[in-house]
């Protein structure tokens, strides 16, 4: 878990364990509905029906209702479940929802490939005599390594987190800075409210150590740091290139991977200079997003004074 939220996470972990069975039961019906809907969409796709007929509205409405209130399924995703949508697009949306509410299954991955094959074949056939393909981007691992070799020395970022544990959910916001050269380090602050109580968490990551300051302790605590706790690190395993996105700060390569704890994350790296633009991680339904907005302003980071650290 992200360092500054460690104390809050411990407070609600017990509630999470008690609520596991209720959550599993809550997801059973949405899973059944998505499975059934995918079977019908498969038939539409194989029959060459390019747009979902209006007659599917009752079934889609029931699924939308079941998904309402599930914190991990964003409203904009639910809104896509509409008749009149392209069949291939709706297939994509339902598969994304399935991946959110349940672990991916090998059979589902195979099914998705076959469902979309007719559409893919048409696209390939139509583009056979087109213009030359654009320049191939770097590999996913090379993209993740770009911030370490770019000219960025330091950067400021804003933080947005949504923490879900059992029937408890809360949002946290904040900001911080990273220093990439000559030594990687980061410092950030997050604020949230739990049970009406405002809380503030601070963290400094430097020299292989993470220093945390939480509301229940006037002294900083220290522990070994990991890449997954440091938003200045885009390193990961099982990296996959997603595509090119246009962000406010410029065009970026979009990559997904897993951090050293096995948790999925997504990273956006600016194409023009290799600067890190955005980092979004997910862990057990909770999300953490750092968005970078300015660079090379001469920031420095140091560890807390020894007198302020808990012995």
Please name every residue paired with 281 in a beta bridge, in sequence order, or none if there are none: 265, 288
pLDDT score of 226: 61
Q: How far apart are CA 94 and CA 44, in angstroms?
A: 14
- Per-residue confidence at 242, pLDDT binned at 50, 70, 90? very high
Q: How far apart are CA 87 and CA 126, in angstroms?
A: 19
pLDDT at 268 over 90: yes
Q: How far apart are CA 96 and CA 73, in angstroms?
A: 9
- Per-residue confidence at 109, pLDDT binned at 50, 70, 90? very low
pLDDT at 151 over 70: yes
pLDDT score of 194: 72
Radius of gyration of the chain (CA): 22
pLDDT score of 71: 55
Domains of the chain: residue spans and CATH: 12-126 (no CATH), 139-303 (2.50.20.20)
Please name every residue paired with 170 in a beta bridge, in sequence order, or none if there are none: 163
pLDDT at 146 over 80: yes
Is pTM, for the whole model, over 0.85? no
Cβ neighbour number for residue 110 with a 10 Å cutoff: 10
CA distances from 228 to 239, 256, 283 (A): 15, 14, 11
pLDDT at 220 over 70: yes
Q: What are phi and psi of 72, to 5 degrees?
A: -80, -15
Q: What is the pLDDT of residues 59-87, one digit of tens each?
A: 999 888 888 876 567 788 888 899 999 98
Q: What are phi and psi of 289, to 5 degrees?
A: -130, 130
What tokens appear for 165 in the block?
Answer: 């544990």
């Amino acid at each position: 878990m992200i360092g500054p939220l460690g104390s809050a996470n411990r407070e609600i972990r017990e509630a999470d364990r008690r609520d596991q069975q209720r959550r599993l039961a809550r997801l059973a019906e949405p899973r059944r509905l998505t499975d059934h809907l995918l079977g019908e969409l498969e038939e539409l796709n194989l029959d060459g029906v390019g747009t979902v007929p209006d007659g599917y509205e009752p079934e889609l409405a029931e699924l939308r209702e079941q998904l309402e209130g599930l914190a991990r399924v964003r409203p904009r995703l639910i809104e896509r479940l509409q008749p009149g949508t392209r069949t291939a697009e709706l297939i994509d949306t339902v598969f994304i929802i399935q991946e959110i509410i349940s672990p991916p299954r090998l059979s589902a991955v195979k099914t998705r490939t076959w469902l979309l094959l007719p559409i893919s074949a048409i696209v390939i056939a139509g583009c056979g005599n087109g213009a030359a393909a654009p320049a191939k981007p770097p590999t996913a691992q090379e993209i993740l390594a770009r911030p370490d070799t770019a000219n960025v020395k330091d950067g400021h970022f804003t933080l947005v987190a949504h923490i879900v544990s059992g029937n408890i959910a809360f949002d946290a916001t904040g900001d911080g800075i990273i220093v990439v050269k000559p030594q990687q380090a980061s410092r950030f602050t997050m604020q949230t409210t739990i049970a009406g109580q405002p809380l503030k968490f601070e963290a400094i990551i430097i020299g292989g150590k993470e220093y945390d300051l939480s509301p229940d302790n006037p002294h900083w605590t220290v522990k070994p740091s990991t890449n997954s706790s440091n938003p200045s690190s885009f390193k990961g395993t099982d990296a996959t290139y997603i595509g090119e996105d246009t962000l406010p700060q410029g065009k970026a390569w979009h990559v997904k991977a897993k951090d050293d704890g096995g948790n999925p994350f997504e990273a956006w790296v600016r194409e023009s200079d290799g600067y890190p633009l955005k980092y979004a991680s997910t862990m057990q339904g909770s999300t953490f997003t750092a968005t970078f907005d300015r660079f090379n302003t001469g920031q420095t980071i140091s560890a807390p004074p020894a007198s302020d650290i808990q012995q």
